[in-house]
Amino acid sequence: MTLEAIVEQLGLKCKCCWEKLKTEVDGGYAGDLLSDVMANSSGGDVWVTRQVHQNIVAVASLKEHAGIVIVQGASPDKDTLEKAQMEGIPIIVSDLSEFEVVGKIYHLMHYA
Amino acid sequence: MPGDEYLEGIFYVQGRDFVDAGIVSSEIKKKLKEKDIPESIIRKAAVVTFEAEINIISYAEQGTIQYYIESDSVTIEAKDVGKGIEDIELALQEGYSTADDSIRELGFGAGMGLANIKRFSDEFEISSVPGEGTFLKSTIYLNGK
């Protein structure tokens, strides 16, 4: 499934790197502790988080995530978007809670 | 012999500079890719360098991260000048942290950094002099253990 399909079907908003939305998503990870995400997420994951600062881009880039979904209506920092643009990491936002976003993406990927 | 080539890169890390956090790790990752180091090894090295970089930024005044590529391994060394670690056994325990709130707000300081470095290393050494600084060395074997 592509990131684009997730964005469209869940009505999410893409804040950066539309051109990368065709990226294939292999799985997902949810977490707000960056060391936890570093250790336990995988390349190709869509990463769901409530963090908004620019260090999330460094993590996603190092782990080669397909993209980041920021939840709970939070807005990524300006620096975060600039860095994401540079690194080519899609930043997607949702008004829903982390729990709901993860549930919906999981359902889409495994049962839809 | 190409397999015995010994390469080295050294990068400077400034304490408290969270804005640039990850730059050194990305740079080393890029260099390892250029050298055709296997993906699985690069993934481990990326975790080790990132955690080492974050530790210097979070707890030290300044430091360096350097790496070596040998025919059978990648080695990462992080050295810093700073307050050091009083009790290394305790610091290695997952969940133990001396991070202040400003670090925790960024999603760091959960007490996982050193544990992650150890977990993703095949060989791991750490030493510290309180009030002076910390040295750590991680070796990752190219062919697994």
Q: What is the DSSP string of B70-100?
A: -SSEEEEEEEEEES--S-HHHHHSTT-----
pLDDT grade for A112, boundaries at 50, 70 and 90? confident
**Is A34–B107 a contact, with Cβ atoms under 8 angstroms apart?**
yes
State the number of CA atoms in the 13 A half-sphere of A7 facing the CB: 25
**Tell me: the pLDDT tens digits for B16-67?**
999 999 999 999 999 999 999 999 999 999 999 999 999 999 999 999 999 9
**Is A59–B22 a contact, with Cβ atoms under 8 angstroms apart?**
yes
Domain boundaries, chain A: 3-110
In angstroms, the separation between the Cα of residue A73 and the nearest Cα of chain B is 18
Do B32 and B70 form a contact (C-beta atoms < 8 A)? no
At residue B80, the pLDDT reads 98
Average pLDDT over residues A14-29: 96
Average pLDDT over residues A12-39: 97
In angstroms, the separation between the Cα of residue B114 and the nearest Cα of chain A is 10
Q: Which domains does chain B have, with CATH numbers?
A: 8-141 (3.30.565.10)
Do A69 and A45 form a contact (C-beta atoms < 8 A)? no
Q: Torsions phi, psi of B111, nearest 5?
A: 75, 30
Tell which residue, B84, B92, B98, B143, has the closest CA to residue B115.
Answer: B92
pLDDT grade for B8, boundaries at 50, 70 and 90? confident
Average pLDDT over residues B134-142: 97
CB contacts, 8 Å: B47 with chain A: 38-39
3-class DSSP state of B139: strand
At residue B4, the pLDDT reads 54
pLDDT grade for B1, boundaries at 50, 70 and 90? very low
Q: How far is CA B79 from the centre of its chain?
A: 9
Architecture of domain A3-110: 3-Layer(aba) Sandwich (3.40)
| ipTM of model | 0.94
Query: Does the model's pTM come out above 0.90?
Result: yes
Average pLDDT over residues A6-13: 97
pLDDT grade for A25, boundaries at 50, 70 and 90? very high
Determine which of A37, A47, A62 to mutate to test the interface with B (most B C-beta atoms within 10 Å): A62
Q: How far is CA A111 from the centre of its chain?
A: 20
Q: Torsions phi, psi of B68, nearest 5?
A: -130, 140
pLDDT grade for B103, boundaries at 50, 70 and 90? very high
Query: Residue A23 corresponds to which amino acid?
Result: T
**Mean pLDDT over the full length of chain B:** 94
